[in-house]
Amino acid sequence: MPRYCFQLQVRPDRLDEYRERHRAVWPDMLVALRDTGWRNYSLHLRSDGLLIGYVEADDLAAAQQAMAATEVNARWQAEMQQFFTGLDGRGPDEGFLLLDEIFHLEDQLAHHGNPAPTPARRSGSETTP
Protein backbone atom coordinates (compact mmCIF):
# COMPACT_ATOMS: atom_id res chain seq x y z
CA MET A 1 0.00 0.00 0.00
CA PRO A 2 1.41 3.41 -0.88
CA ARG A 3 2.71 5.50 2.02
CA TYR A 4 2.48 9.30 2.22
CA CYS A 5 4.15 11.78 4.50
CA PHE A 6 3.26 15.46 4.72
CA GLN A 7 4.06 18.56 6.70
CA LEU A 8 2.15 21.55 7.98
CA GLN A 9 2.99 24.34 10.40
CA VAL A 10 0.89 24.75 13.55
CA ARG A 11 0.88 28.18 15.15
CA PRO A 12 3.29 27.93 18.10
CA ASP A 13 0.88 29.84 20.36
CA ARG A 14 -1.86 27.22 19.67
CA LEU A 15 0.11 24.00 20.25
CA ASP A 16 -1.56 23.01 23.53
CA GLU A 17 -5.05 23.48 22.14
CA TYR A 18 -4.12 21.65 18.93
CA ARG A 19 -2.85 18.69 20.95
CA GLU A 20 -6.00 18.74 23.07
CA ARG A 21 -8.26 18.66 19.98
CA HIS A 22 -6.52 15.48 18.83
CA ARG A 23 -6.85 13.66 22.14
CA ALA A 24 -10.53 13.10 21.37
CA VAL A 25 -11.21 13.41 17.65
CA TRP A 26 -14.92 13.25 16.87
CA PRO A 27 -16.05 9.64 16.37
CA ASP A 28 -17.80 10.49 13.09
CA MET A 29 -14.54 12.02 11.81
CA LEU A 30 -12.62 8.86 12.68
CA VAL A 31 -15.19 6.69 10.88
CA ALA A 32 -15.16 8.98 7.84
CA LEU A 33 -11.35 8.77 7.60
CA ARG A 34 -11.47 4.99 7.81
CA ASP A 35 -14.34 4.67 5.34
CA THR A 36 -12.70 6.94 2.75
CA GLY A 37 -9.48 4.94 2.63
CA TRP A 38 -7.12 6.56 5.17
CA ARG A 39 -5.07 3.84 6.89
CA ASN A 40 -2.34 3.83 9.53
CA TYR A 41 -2.75 7.61 9.86
CA SER A 42 -0.68 9.43 12.47
CA LEU A 43 0.44 12.97 13.27
CA HIS A 44 3.67 14.02 14.97
CA LEU A 45 4.16 17.52 16.39
CA ARG A 46 7.45 19.24 17.17
CA SER A 47 7.69 21.89 19.90
CA ASP A 48 8.03 24.70 17.33
CA GLY A 49 4.80 23.66 15.57
CA LEU A 50 6.20 21.55 12.74
CA LEU A 51 3.56 18.91 12.11
CA ILE A 52 4.43 15.73 10.23
CA GLY A 53 1.67 13.41 9.11
CA TYR A 54 1.89 9.86 7.85
CA VAL A 55 -0.88 7.97 6.09
CA GLU A 56 -1.27 4.91 3.91
CA ALA A 57 -3.89 4.90 1.16
CA ASP A 58 -4.45 3.07 -2.08
CA ASP A 59 -4.82 6.49 -3.74
CA LEU A 60 -4.29 9.58 -1.58
CA ALA A 61 -5.97 11.95 -4.04
CA ALA A 62 -9.07 9.72 -4.13
CA ALA A 63 -9.08 9.43 -0.32
CA GLN A 64 -8.80 13.22 0.01
CA GLN A 65 -11.58 13.73 -2.52
CA ALA A 66 -13.84 11.27 -0.72
CA MET A 67 -13.17 13.01 2.62
CA ALA A 68 -13.84 16.41 1.07
CA ALA A 69 -17.33 15.18 0.16
CA THR A 70 -18.23 14.43 3.78
CA GLU A 71 -20.09 16.86 6.01
CA VAL A 72 -17.95 16.03 9.04
CA ASN A 73 -14.77 16.93 7.17
CA ALA A 74 -16.14 20.36 6.29
CA ARG A 75 -16.84 21.02 9.98
CA TRP A 76 -13.45 19.65 11.10
CA GLN A 77 -11.46 21.61 8.52
CA ALA A 78 -13.30 24.83 9.40
CA GLU A 79 -12.34 24.37 13.05
CA MET A 80 -8.75 23.28 12.38
CA GLN A 81 -7.83 25.99 9.87
CA GLN A 82 -7.26 28.51 12.67
CA PHE A 83 -4.35 26.44 14.03
CA PHE A 84 -2.15 26.63 10.91
CA THR A 85 0.09 29.13 9.18
CA GLY A 86 0.87 29.37 5.47
CA LEU A 87 -2.35 27.91 4.08
CA ASP A 88 -3.28 30.96 1.99
CA GLY A 89 -7.01 30.39 2.46
CA ARG A 90 -6.90 26.63 1.86
CA GLY A 91 -7.95 24.09 4.44
CA PRO A 92 -5.29 22.02 6.20
CA ASP A 93 -6.32 18.99 4.16
CA GLU A 94 -5.59 20.92 0.94
CA GLY A 95 -2.54 22.85 2.06
CA PHE A 96 -0.14 20.23 3.28
CA LEU A 97 3.21 19.68 1.60
CA LEU A 98 3.80 16.08 0.51
CA LEU A 99 7.29 14.78 1.21
CA ASP A 100 9.07 12.26 -1.02
CA GLU A 101 9.83 8.89 0.53
CA ILE A 102 13.48 8.08 -0.07
CA PHE A 103 13.98 5.04 2.18
CA HIS A 104 11.81 2.26 3.59
CA LEU A 105 13.51 -0.52 5.53
CA GLU A 106 11.09 -3.34 4.74
CA ASP A 107 11.10 -2.54 0.99
CA GLN A 108 14.89 -2.67 0.85
CA LEU A 109 15.10 -5.82 2.94
CA ALA A 110 12.56 -7.51 0.67
CA HIS A 111 14.47 -6.31 -2.42
CA HIS A 112 17.54 -8.12 -1.11
CA GLY A 113 15.56 -11.28 -0.27
CA ASN A 114 15.74 -10.56 3.43
CA PRO A 115 12.19 -9.90 4.64
CA ALA A 116 11.68 -8.32 8.04
CA PRO A 117 10.95 -10.75 10.86
CA THR A 118 7.36 -11.24 11.90
CA PRO A 119 6.40 -11.86 15.53
CA ALA A 120 6.27 -15.60 14.79
CA ARG A 121 9.73 -15.50 13.16
CA ARG A 122 11.90 -13.74 15.73
CA SER A 123 15.57 -14.43 16.12
CA GLY A 124 17.70 -14.03 19.16
CA SER A 125 17.87 -15.75 22.49
CA GLU A 126 14.67 -17.77 22.37
CA THR A 127 15.03 -21.38 23.29
CA THR A 128 13.21 -24.24 21.67
CA PRO A 129 11.00 -26.25 24.07
Catalytic positions are 22
Determine the residue type at 65. Answer: Q
Long-range CB contacts for residues 20-28, cutoff 8 Å, separation at least 24? 21/79, 21/80, 21/83, 26/72, 26/76, 28/72
d(CA 32, CA 48) in angstroms, rounded, equals 30
